[in-house]
A and B are shown apart, each in its own frame.
Chain A
């Protein structure tokens, strides 16, 4: 989600809540001879509010599961998730009086900080990355379709090369002592460099073969290679070469898309399980604190 002027109301409301809470906390800390404590009425209130914010933030996952239920627009939920989730951090600090406490509370604090930090990191990624992706991957496709598109690119490239060099057919030649051996039909000598380049470099690149040296992954190196290839090929092979270069560019863009997609969504692998753990341990902490 882009953090823009449409977030102004949430920002103002959050700043007001933070300001009021800070004022209350300072007054409360100053008036407590033994220092602030999570067990006091004020400390408990901060804890309840902070935990309520966390629960609301956690409910976003549930909201996404029932996307078409008319429970408020998903973007309003995400805004609430962002701002209230962020506010939960100072609330819990006020609740704990900036102390980390025992083992459970220490774990909770570390979890909370990690969750908020990963959330901020994710929000920043989702603010900037879509724009970068839009400009750098004009041939973007649906992520789940990438393998299928790659197969199509390989098939298209095979057809192009076969069109210029002739299909790699094998013919059975009978041996004098009985038996047979398969011999490949040779391509015309003038276009051999194309077949060679395709077999050694382009095809492995399109097949995503990481074992080979991938010069084609860099646009400048790739352009240089294709330029060199054109100088040794007859002019009637230039059109196919240009199309192969386009295929190569598309593959590079697909790779870039995969990388960016992983950045855009990978942070959730940390954020979501830790959030779940935080909520569960938070419940344990609340029950233990209220009971004992």
Chain B
């Protein structure tokens, strides 16, 4: 078997010259045409936190978690890099050693970047964070899995790194959802500070990663850094007060429904204000006009408050649709919109995976090569997945622009409904 040629061809497919990808040049890439592999690179996350050298891997965190990119990578000098689409990385992970190495590097970087990025740790010294990094654990939870249970002994403090965590309390009348937490938030401090049991159950709403700090390390941190302890106590008091108010008002229903509909996952949600919408379907027609006659939104879905959550891509933070695409054609662009590239083979996996039914398969007329007759093309019908692309070529999605009644809105639901849910509007969590 000729493996040498095959390896070369395989590597040849991996290498990418950025100048050739003219129809998808990301904003960050426009100034740089070549990245050589033999030069160090600076990984910046507001402030530079890492320098990469020849042979280093980067970008694997977003491929593994599917969350938007957490950092901007800039070439400090001429560099050449090998670009692997996510599906290729998935194939390579079938190799045990590679997977173990990737997992190790992922854990190390995830812990490092997260501990430095959490605002309450701003007062900690670098030495302490270095020490802490060696002691903490990075834990992963599947949707629905309980992270800690009400009434259990409080033995750890948790920082949410990825995903959403539901905080609920069990009462005689049933479960009461108190809050949901996202990236940058933390929980478990109440039981630890009071030296008591857990006061609430925390469970994963989607794929969650948390950094676990054990009770002795938490105690040591509070002892060494009184300002951190003071801040944690303040937050604990605020939360206790808010929970008390919520219990008195019995107002967990909207929050419960918000979480059940998975709205916290959305980065950009198409909402139709049903009190203004005259059901004229101008939004649907505009969407079809903007996408070769095939609409990517259906004016039907669940209601939340007086809004209809239209069937249109939500640009999820944890997009299940991207899992397993065999050709890597469904991916993120500019960290927000999930797009389906032209090379989609129409397998329908993404449509099956989308829990909200927001991806549809449509037949398109295409001219394809005739097998065995080079240069010859014939008309044929090809299935392709379609989903809302936020009309990224325009400043505003066409559905919103074309709504004459000011009823269609593309919003970040965590900010838009913050008042209704009595939650603080978070700052669009990113990995």
Q: Which residues of A contact B (CB under 8 A)?
A: 1-2, 6, 60, 64, 67-68, 70, 73-75, 77-78, 126, 129-131, 133-134, 138, 141-143, 261, 264-265
Contact call A67/B405, Cβ cutoff below 8 A: no
Contact call A130/B275, Cβ cutoff below 8 A: yes
Most B CB contacts (10 A, CB to CB) among A6, A77, A126, A134 go to: A134
A-B contact pairs, 18 of them (CB 8 A): A1-B276, A1-B405, A1-B406, A2-B275, A67-B398, A67-B402, A68-B290, A74-B404, A126-B405, A130-B274, A130-B276, A130-B278, A130-B279, A134-B274, A141-B300, A143-B279, A264-B278, A264-B279
Contact call B282/A74, Cβ cutoff below 8 A: yes
User: Beta-carbon contacts of B375-404 to A below 8 Å, as 1s and 0s?
Assistant: 000000000000000000010101001111
Q: How far is it, in angstroms, between the C-alpha of A131 and the C-alpha of B278 when the chains are bound? A: 9
Contact call A261/B279, Cβ cutoff below 8 A: yes
Q: How far is it, in angstroms, between the C-alpha of A22 and the C-alpha of B275 when the chains are bound? A: 36
User: Beta-carbon contacts of B276-317 to A below 8 Å, as 1s and 0s?
Assistant: 111110100110011000000011100100100000000000
Contact call A130/B277, Cβ cutoff below 8 A: yes
Contact call A1/B300, Cβ cutoff below 8 A: no
Q: Tell me which of A64, A68, A133 contacts B404 (CB under 8 A).
A: A64
Task: Collect the chain B residues with CB atoms within 8 Å of residue A73's CB.
Answer: 396, 401
Contact call B286/A67, Cβ cutoff below 8 A: yes
Task: Collect the chain A residues with CB atoms within 8 Å of residue B282's CB.
Answer: 64, 67, 74
B60 CB, nearest partner CB in chain A, Å: 39
Instruction: Given A78-B405, A261-B279, A265-B280, decide whether A142 and B298 contact each other with a Cβ distance below 8 A.
Output: yes
Contact call A77/B404, Cβ cutoff below 8 A: yes
Contact call A75/B404, Cβ cutoff below 8 A: yes
Q: Which of B29-44 contact A (CB under 8 A)?
A: none
B308 CB, nearest partner CB in chain A, Å: 9
Q: How far is it, in angstroms, between the C-alpha of A276 and the C-alpha of B290 when the chains are bound? A: 28
Task: Collect the chain B residues with CB atoms within 8 Å of residue A75's CB.
Answer: 403-406
Instruction: Given A73-B401, A75-B403, decide whether A134 and B299 contact each other with a Cβ distance below 8 A.
Output: no
Task: Collect the chain B residues with CB atoms within 8 Å of residue A68's CB.
Answer: 286, 289-290, 394, 398, 401-402
* CB-CB nearest in chain B for A260: B279
B280 CB, nearest partner CB in chain A, Å: 7
A55 CB, nearest partner CB in chain B, Å: 18
Most B CB contacts (10 A, CB to CB) among A64, A68, A261 go to: A68
Q: Which of B225-253 contact A (CB under 8 A)?
A: none
Q: Tell me which of B275, B280, B300, B398 contacts A131 (CB under 8 A).
A: B275
Q: How far is it, in angstroms, between the C-alpha of A149 and the C-alpha of B274 when the chains are bound? A: 21
Task: Collect the chain A residues with CB atoms within 8 Å of residue B396's CB.
Answer: 73
Q: How far is it, in angstroms, between the C-alpha of A141 and the C-alpha of B299 when the chains are bound? A: 9
Contact call B306/A134, Cβ cutoff below 8 A: yes
Q: How far is it, in angstroms, between the C-alpha of A32 and the C-alpha of B142 when the chains are bound? A: 84
Contact call A78/B276, Cβ cutoff below 8 A: no
Q: Which of B317-368 contact A (CB under 8 A)?
A: none
Contact call B406/A6, Cβ cutoff below 8 A: yes
B388 CB, nearest partner CB in chain A, Å: 14
Contact call B403/A74, Cβ cutoff below 8 A: yes
* CB-CB nearest in chain B for A141: B300
Q: How far is it, in angstroms, between the C-alpha of A130 and the C-alpha of B279 when the chains are bound? A: 8
Task: Collect the chain B residues with CB atoms within 8 Å of residue A141's CB.
Answer: 300
* CB-CB nearest in chain B for A76: B404
Q: How far is it, in angstroms, between the C-alpha of A1 and the C-alpha of B402 when the chains are bound? A: 13
Q: How far is it, in angstroms, between the C-alpha of A73 and the C-alpha of B404 when the chains are bound? A: 8
Q: How far is it, in angstroms, between the C-alpha of A126 and the C-alpha of B274 when the chains are bound? A: 11
A108 CB, nearest partner CB in chain B, Å: 27
Task: Collect the chain B residues with CB atoms within 8 Å of residue A67's CB.
Answer: 282, 285-286, 289, 398, 401-402
B399 CB, nearest partner CB in chain A, Å: 9
Nearest 8 A/B pairs, CB to CB: A67-B402, A78-B404, A67-B286, A134-B274, A74-B404, A1-B405, A75-B406, A68-B398
* CB-CB nearest in chain B for A138: B303
Q: How far is it, in angstroms, between the C-alpha of A264 and the C-alpha of B278 when the chains are bound? A: 7
* CB-CB nearest in chain A for B391: A68
B285 CB, nearest partner CB in chain A, Å: 6
Q: How far is it, in angstroms, between the C-alpha of A68 and the C-alpha of B396 when the chains are bound? A: 10
* CB-CB nearest in chain B for A60: B404
* CB-CB nearest in chain B for A129: B278
* CB-CB nearest in chain A for B401: A73
B137 CB, nearest partner CB in chain A, Å: 46
Task: Collect the chain A residues with CB atoms within 8 Å of residue B394's CB.
Answer: 68, 70
Contact call B299/A142, Cβ cutoff below 8 A: yes
Q: How far is it, in angstroms, between the C-alpha of A249 and the C-alpha of B51 when the chains are bound? A: 65
Q: How far is it, in angstroms, between the C-alpha of A60 and the C-alpha of B405 when the chains are bound? A: 13
Task: Collect the chain B residues with CB atoms within 8 Å of residue A131's CB.
Answer: 274-275, 306
* CB-CB nearest in chain B for A75: B406
B257 CB, nearest partner CB in chain A, Å: 13
B184 CB, nearest partner CB in chain A, Å: 34
- Given A67-B289, A74-B282, A142-B300; 18 other pairs, CB 8 A cutoff: A1-B405, A1-B406, A64-B282, A64-B404, A67-B282, A67-B398, A68-B286, A73-B401, A75-B403, A75-B404, A126-B405, A129-B278, A130-B276, A130-B279, A131-B275, A133-B274, A138-B303, A142-B298
Task: Collect the chain B residues with CB atoms within 8 Å of residue A129's CB.
Answer: 278
Task: Collect the chain A residues with CB atoms within 8 Å of residue B405's CB.
Answer: 1-2, 75, 78, 126
A246 CB, nearest partner CB in chain B, Å: 18
Q: How far is it, in angstroms, between the C-alpha of A75 and the C-alpha of B404 when the chains are bound? A: 4
Q: How far is it, in angstroms, between the C-alpha of A131 and the C-alpha of B298 when the chains are bound? A: 20
Instruction: Given A126-B278, A130-B276, decide whether A1 and B299 contact each other with a Cβ distance below 8 A.
Output: no
* CB-CB nearest in chain B for A264: B278
Contact call A74/B401, Cβ cutoff below 8 A: yes
Q: How far is it, in angstroms, between the C-alpha of A95 and the C-alpha of B290 when the chains are bound? A: 43
Q: How far is it, in angstroms, between the C-alpha of A12 and the C-alpha of B175 when the chains are bound? A: 51
